[in-house]
Amino acid sequence: MDGGMNPTTVVVWGGLLLGAIFGAVAHKTNFCTMGAISDVVNMEHWGRMRMWLLAIAVALMGTTALHVLGQVDITKTIYQRPLIPWLSLLVGGGLFGVGMTLAGGCANKNLVRVGGGNLRSLVVLVFVGISAYMTLKGVFGQWRVSYLDPVRIDVSTWGLANQSIPAAVSQVTGWSVLAAWQGVTAVVLLALLAFVFKDQRFRANTTSVLGSVALGLVVIAGWYITGHIGYGENPETLETVYFATNTRTLESMSFVAPVAYSLELLLLWTDKSLKVSFGVASAIGVALGSWAYAIATGNFRWKGEGFASFDDLRAQLLGAMLMGFGGVTAMGCTIGQGLTGVSTLAMGSLLALLGLVGGSVATMKYQIWRA
């Protein structure tokens, strides 16, 4: 990085700012992936689903531009590793989908609710963090590593350097990888934008359109901050590194593992080896951005009421635990895989997204049947 500014500081403060923007926009537009799926399943209403798809389209377009122009190397992300742990992605995504439905919202939605004063969502987030940490470094992690992660596909045996769809297209067609990347992006973009904007009501909803664009831009900015500004030589080891990221490579918006790392930081505050990362800062930023928007609009209210019943308590906490386990196992949540991961055109991200949506839809169908 040019100049004398510490890249770690820029990455952390950048994460906080981007998280705040994400939280404020999500609060204003009622952006919620679980809500979008619920609207389609229960009411056949596609408004919020179109928001999610438009955010994906914007994130995909910008991410591809950064990669093609050489500003960041998207193939270095965790989503592009040549090993595809397909069972972990499907099971983790499915359990996350079940969990967010039981808990009434994903990790991002609960961060937004906490910013609005909802203390029940704080309880949910604590359990998400505990479960996620157990899946990263505890007993759940042992199960994940022993039984799920070993079931995988190595795309390098197919002659592919990474698991991106453009890499596969390049091998089949003979195009250069960058040309294939642009071609695949163009096709996906046209399909998404055609579906999103064919609805007149959505086209007329300026708040939803601009909100979706803003959320997509936040993902793009996350890649640029961690993958360009935060990429450089470590003055202590003289190695080229990505500063202030938990994965030690470039990152963008994702909230399950960062909630776990936030909890770890609070519990082990005196451990000087632990630092605030981009992910931790962005998760905190979402709650702060939501809070700032709620205060500015006069909508902030402390909501200290408890769970409606024991069944409600059980469903919410079970959902939180499933989200923590599923989010780490699938390497991301509705945002981490469903928006950030998909923007890299990774095959594994599509598997995780399939599991996530499938788990949520199946749970909603079961709840309707039971009712």
**Over the stretch 32-70, which tens digit does the pLDDT of each residue have?**
999 999 999 999 999 999 999 999 999 999 999 999 999
| Residues β-bridged to residue 118 | 303
- The backbone torsions φ and ψ at residue 307, rounded to the nearest 5 degrees and listed phi first, read -75, 150
Token couple for 356: 């996530």
Per-residue pLDDT, 305: 65
Per-residue pLDDT, 267: 95
Q: Which helix (H) or strand (E) holds 162?
A: none
Residue 352 belongs to domain spanning? 7-370
Angle of helix 206-224 relative to helix 47-68, nearest 10 degrees?
30
Residue 2 lies in a domain: no
Percentages (nearest 5) of helix, strand, coil residues in the chain: 70, 5, 25
| Secondary structure of residue 204 in the 3-state scheme | helix
DSSP state of 138: S
- The backbone torsions φ and ψ at residue 83, rounded to the nearest 5 degrees and listed phi first, read -90, 125
Per-residue pLDDT, 237: 78
Residue 258 lies in a domain: yes
Long-range Cβ contact pairs of 136-145 (< 8 A, separation 24 or more): 136/257, 136/260, 136/328, 140/325, 140/328, 141/328, 144/88, 144/325, 144/328, 144/329
| Residues β-bridged to residue 203 | none
Residue 81 lies in a domain: yes
Token pair 């963090």 is at which residue?
129
290/334 Cα distance (integer angstroms): 18
Residue 1 lies in a domain: no
| Secondary structure of residue 283 in the 3-state scheme | helix
Q: Are 75 and 234 in contact (CB under 8 A)?
A: no
Residue ranges of the chain with pLDDT lower than 50? 1-2
Please choose, from the candidates 334, 280, 289, the residue with its C-alpha nearest in 3D space to the C-alpha of residue 103: 334
Q: Give residues with Cβ within 8 angstroms of 114, minimum separation 6.
A: 121, 122, 125, 287, 290
Per-residue pLDDT, 2: 47
Domain count, the chain: 1
Residue 34 lies in a domain: yes
Q: Which helix (H) or strand (E) holds 101?
A: helix 86-103
Q: Are 110 and 121 in contact (CB under 8 A)?
A: yes
The model's pTM: 0.96
For residue 325, the tally of other CB atoms under 10 A from its CB is 25
User: How are beta strands 240-242 and 153-154 bridged, if at all?
Assistant: unpaired
Residue 236 lies in a domain: yes
Per-residue pLDDT, 4: 59
Residue 122 lies in a domain: yes
Residue 119 lies in a domain: yes
